[in-house]
Structure 1
């Protein structure tokens, strides 16, 4: 339907605003690979980079996306599903419709409307040229006139954060506090106020920003920690949080399928995303000198979960380092992050990350001051150059499409054991 095309365009616009990567026409292939990973991380659904290219018009394709794809795009844009997104558009401020044709005037009219409209258009064009010619670029604000700080209230999740700010020097009332990279978490605040509170439903490393108009005048790092291990099922808008007794055992972490079903979370047609996260419970470790090992197993492979997608994330104060895993036939869908680049299984041989999940899979990642080395079951799977800037590891996370188990976690630096679990 034509209305679906309009709604899809609006949904893409919201996603582009959220990503803040510039005009989508300038996106390169790696951007679609990165978007694929971002969507997977947030929704638990893997939309292939080729599908995303079709949706954004890089490949000629006349059909509308499937319902699963539409639901996933809507979730990534901040809605529970496509139906909720469509409903919201009925009252939202959509871009104005194209100007329709002028009504046909009576034949007896003696006015040359064609000529008149041409003259009016020329006058408007001259006026616009004058505005552009004399318009001055807005001056940059003096960032020293502003202050911005934050304080989490607890070591648990959810976690409210108290932001303290001073924006009284702002020349505009358009003063915003942004919780993270996500512009959806951007809130208009009182220019002459001093306090704003926000709630974080997931732990991690964030960059909080004070924005005046469109200029970021202050920003700082914000770690939302966990009180030990946090387990959750990544539903939107709020995750389903797990009690420690539901997923933590004496020698491993795991969430049985039956426990997911008891929480009324459907396993089909779209399997859920189960996460185990630990942030802020050990001193930061330099990415240039570390060693990490762990054993994992994806324990659900039915229906749409046949690829048994899983990944380990080393959360850093910059781009994370990820170790993706899947069934052997699905490595084309994998995306690896090495702290600097996004590596797509579409363009890179990631076949070593395809595994047999009927057995425990031993995963390791380490650095030697120059490179990162990824090993799967003792075999070198991938290597990459370390980021040039100083990056530190601040947490560890696991994700399973379906559900999975984890044991034997060790994180070391300079041959010193810094963190160990199970």
Structure 2
């Protein structure tokens, strides 16, 4: 499959969100094509949709007309209008923000903190210095008691991204806590 531009990938994500059904099978693409035609009068073939979503391999870039129709589907006048929105929207731009946080520079070895995230995940951590934390209590989390990880800070409302977890002297793949909604609990205990 040809790599799609980030703007097109974002367009497809928003189209999928609005349609609110997964596009995973030939039938899904057939139904979406019919939906676009019957509900909106947009003619986009099933094969074009399959190529766009990477269901079939293809080396062609999508036509502007197709991108315009999908942009209209999510409320824009055309694809260039959608791209302009991406460039000017604060939702897609970097920005400063304030939130409750715990930074490792404010901790000393032996300090304990607790963090949590939805739906009911909880960790109690002990700081070991040099940005290293050990899990000393875990409830409903994939992190286990005895796991270690490194991070520079914990930010309320933001996901916790870990490049790895050290478990039984083995590094795991990257881990994300609070993917949807971020951390909902951060407290320094000692």
TM bucket by the smaller chain? 0.3 to 0.5
Larger RCO, structures 1/2 (Cα 8 Å, 6+ apart):
2
**Looking at CA atoms only, which structure, 1 or 2, has the larger radius of gyration?**
1
TM-score after normalising by structure 1: 0.22
Kindly indicate which of the two structures has a greater share of residues assigned to helix. 2
Q: Looking at secondary structure, tell me which structure has more strand per residue.
A: 1
